[in-house]
Structure 1
């Protein structure tokens, strides 16, 4: 029993000794860190030397720094000027575009495109006010007019330059591009643009119409399975649409052809 007690005491002593040794080493390390950290502060001549070298470097490269500063100022000024100039141009373009839009709505397409002698048409607006929101919208109108007149390649050229945040108008532009490509016999691009029209923030009122165009394009390209699937989408999802009856009819017809 005595031996056991002595053994426990010896073991406890060794644990206590080891713990004390670790604490002593930790304190020793903690003392060294501040010495390293504040070593530079204890040498003011070193700080002064570094400041002098930094000042000399700036003086030596003052022209470079000055050039960078001037270039930055000029860049900011150019960006501001461009934005203000673009806004001013856009206001003028909107004012001139008013009459052209009126002619477009009245089906006076020649005046809408070329102007009436007093007011600018869409073609002049896209040329004179390039890069503005009004010129962007004018491309949509021009493409629509050319498509209605049978100038399909010109319609493609202008509609491809148009982009809009309004998803109704953008989807319509994709569909018109699809129509133009179909007329040009390019079913691959027609399919691509009809799919964009369908997928661009899908709308229950317009999607069935675009799906119908897509199905016709698939059939024209000989892709009967995709055409059947597309008509089926109208049948399943848009049963209240005007296109529903035609979808059922054409789906049944194509299924008959596919089974032969």
Structure 2
């Protein structure tokens, strides 16, 4: 290692102190460029193509997102007016959430359209379709994402899949857990576990509310439901 370091140091001194040696090095590089001109041009062209392609894709996505947001304006209006059919399928002039979500998938607006569509489908009693739409939704907003998990739980519960629903409610509660929403989701989880006769699991999630969210509005219900679940769990055993 020491010999190699000395060698490199000597080479450096030679290049600094001997202009001819430096010129020779550059001459060698020039020869390399001449010999490999075609290959180097191909590499530079490929790099340029990647950069230009990335730029064009970004602009395309930005344009798509803008178009999707504009398309959503009327659909959101129908949603807020509680006209779920028009919100989902459009009104003949403007597209609905379903088409927007599919046509602009991969954009922020298209992603949000899946959330709206999931809620609207839940209200229309189309629970499996609602579940599918809500499961496509993915957000960095931890409150909205937790809400989506809880709504998936609602869709599963309506399909009689109570254990799966409970798991979704727990997932919602644990997604950036907080004192405002986590107790609500845990309470729903406990009720779902009870609906599937898993009283032990129900008692455990009720207990989480009592121990971790003592100031929550749900704590009194959690205490009552916990006692009931524990009693039923003992009977089952």
What is the TM-score normalised by the length of structure 2? Answer: 0.84
Cα distance change, pair 33–214 in 1 and its aligned pair in 2 (3 A): closer
Give the whole-Å Cα distance in 2 for the aligned partners of 1:114 and 1:197. Answer: 29
1:241 Cα shift?
A: 3.6
Query: How far apart are residue 145 of structure 1 and its match?
Result: 1.5
Select which of 199, 214, 229 maps to 2:189.
214
In 1: Cα distance, 2:44 partner to 2:10 partner: 41
Match of 2:200 in 1: 225
What SS does the aligned partner of 1:95 have? helix
TM superposition shift of 1:187: 4.2
* Equivalent position SS for 2:136: coil
Any idea what the Cα deviations from partners look like across 1:22-66, whole Å, max 9, x if unmatched?
xxxxxxxxxx99877645667766655544333222212111111
Among 88, 94, 98, the residue aligned to 1:123: 98
CA distance in structure 2 between the partners assigned to 1:213 and 1:170 by the alignment:
17
Equivalent residue number for residue 225 of structure 2? 250
Tell me, in whole angstroms, the C-alpha distance in 2 between the residues paired with 1:59 and 1:113: 63
- Name the CA distance, whole Å, in 2 between partners of 1:34 and 1:182: 73
Match of 1:72 in 2: 47
Note if 1:138 corresponds to 2:113: yes
Aligned residues: 229
- The one of 70, 89, 95 aligned to 2:70: 95
Contact 2:84–2:124 (Cα < 8 Å) also in 1: no
Q: Which residue of 2 aligns with 1:202?
A: 177
Please give the root-mean-square deviation of Cα atoms over the aligned residues, in Å. Answer: 2.6
Instruction: Summarize the Cα distance change of 1:37–1:139 in structure 2 as closer, same or farther, 3 Å threshold.
Output: closer
Larger radius of gyration: 1
Q: Residues 169-225 of structure 1: CA distance to partner in whole angstroms, max 9, x if unpaired?
A: 111101011122233344454233222210122232221210011112333444432
CA distance in 2, matches of 1:200, 1:136: 19
| CA spacing shift, 1:43–1:98, aligned 2, 3 Å | closer
The 2-side partners of 1:215 and 1:185 are apart by 15
Within 5 A, what are the aligned runs for 1:47-58? 48-58=23-33
Following the alignment from structure 1 to structure 2, what is the Cα–Cα distance between the partners of residues 211 and 51? 71
